[in-house]
Structure formats: structure tokens, C-alpha cells
């Protein structure tokens, strides 16, 4: 199984405060386009902003302005106060969820993975992957131009699932064609 991760954050730097973390496990050679038959194990947590601040995580003014320009639905999901969890607790749960996966994917090689690795270093916790198993969706998407499902954007879990399905579509185009 591979692991797709996506974050919604308060900055674009490695020390960004994390609002939400979404992830799914998937078989890159599988076909999870049909929601009715989709079998992806998922992980989604909202993170307490104060627990980010306590760890010195960054909140960037430009990113905050960007969030203000998003739709109410998107902003509400990212900033809703209910069901928030301490960042350290979330990272421990994420480690357990991600452990044992063969590859880790994100949309861009220098954002989500780098931020998670930065958090883990700051709390002295390992990440559930080896550095040589990191993969980037932007590269494979540029090569294969996959059909992408229409899911709610800027929702960490939906983005992770959408990107995982995109990788599966790329595998079908590149390997099975």
C-alpha cells in the first residue's frame, strides 16, 4: 500500500502551523474511482491552533489573507473549532496510520512531506517512511495528464483521495497502456 498525504496550513514554510491533515492508503495499481467500491483506509484530523503555536509553528500573514479569500465552506472546514486535537497527539496517530506503507506521496515534493518531517523532528518523533520512498504527484501528473475526480478542494482528506485516484489513473496510462 502507498500513502497519500495532504495538509491545510497557515504558512508555506517547513515550520507552518497545520490546520488539518488528511491521508489515505491506496494501491497505485487499483481503481478507486467509484466511491461505492472505494476501499481506501483514511485518516483525517483537525489540529488545535494553540498546540501549533506552543511548538513555535508559523502563521503567515499572506497565507491568512489567502484563507480569507476562500469560500465560506472551505474556510469553515479549515477553521471550525469543533473536533480539534493536539498536534503531538495527531502526529502520533498519523505515525500509526502510516506505518508499514511502501511509498508516501504528496502534491509537490517540498510541502506536505517537509512540513510533517519538520513537526516530527520538533517533537522527537520518527516519520513512518524512509526518505527514498517519497513520491511527488506533480511530476507523474505532468507525465500522464490523468483524469482527476471532482472533489471538494482545500479539504485535506478529499485532496488526498483525489490525488491518490490521480496516481492510479496515471499508473493505468503509463504502465497498463
DSSP letters along 56-106, please? T-B--HHHHHHHHTS-HHHHHHHH--TTEE-HHHHHHHHHHHHTT-SEEEE
pLDDT in tens, 119-143: 999 999 999 999 999 999 999 999 9
Put simply, whether the predicted model's pTM sits higher than 0.85 gets the answer: yes
C-alpha to C-alpha distance for 177 and 171, rounded to whole angstroms: 9
Over residues 39-47, mean pLDDT: 96
The tens digit of pLDDT for each residue in 62-80 reads: 999 999 999 999 999 999 9
- φ, ψ (nearest 5 deg) of residue 31: -140, 95
DSSP letter for 133, please. Answer: G
Domains of the chain as residue ranges with CATH: 2-174 (3.30.420.10)
Amino acid at each position: 500500500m502507498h500513502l497519500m498525504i495532504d495538509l491545510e496550513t497557515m504558512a508555506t514554510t517547513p515550520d507552518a502551523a497545520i490546520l488539518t491533515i488528511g491521508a489515505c492508503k491506496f494501491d497505485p495499481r487499483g481503481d478507486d474511482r467509484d466511491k461505492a467500491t472505494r476501499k481506501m483506509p483514511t485518516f483525517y484530523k483537525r489540529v488545535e491552533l494553540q498546540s501549533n503555536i506552543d511548538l513555535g509553528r508559523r502563521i503567515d500573514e499572506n497565507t491568512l489573507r489567502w484563507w480569507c479569500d476562500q469560500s465560506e465552506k472551505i474556510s469553515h472546514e479549515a477553521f471550525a473549532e469543533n473536533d480539534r486535537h493536539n498536534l503531538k497527539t495527531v502526529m502520533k496517530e498519523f505515525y500509526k496510520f502510516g506505518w508499514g506503507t511502501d511509498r508516501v506521496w504528496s502534491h509537490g515534493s517540498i510541502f506536505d512531506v517537509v512540513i510533517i518531517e519538520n513537526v516530527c523532528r520538533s517533537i522527537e518523533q520518527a516519520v513512518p517512511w524512509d526518505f527514498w520512498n517519497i513520491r511527488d504527484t506533480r511530476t507523474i501528473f505532468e507525465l500522464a495528464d490523468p483524469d482527476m475526480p471532482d472533489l471538494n478542494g482545500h479539504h485535506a482528506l478529499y485532496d488526498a483521495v483525489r490525488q491518490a485516484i490521480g496516481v492510479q489513473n496515471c499508473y493505468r496510462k503509463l504502465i497498463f497502456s
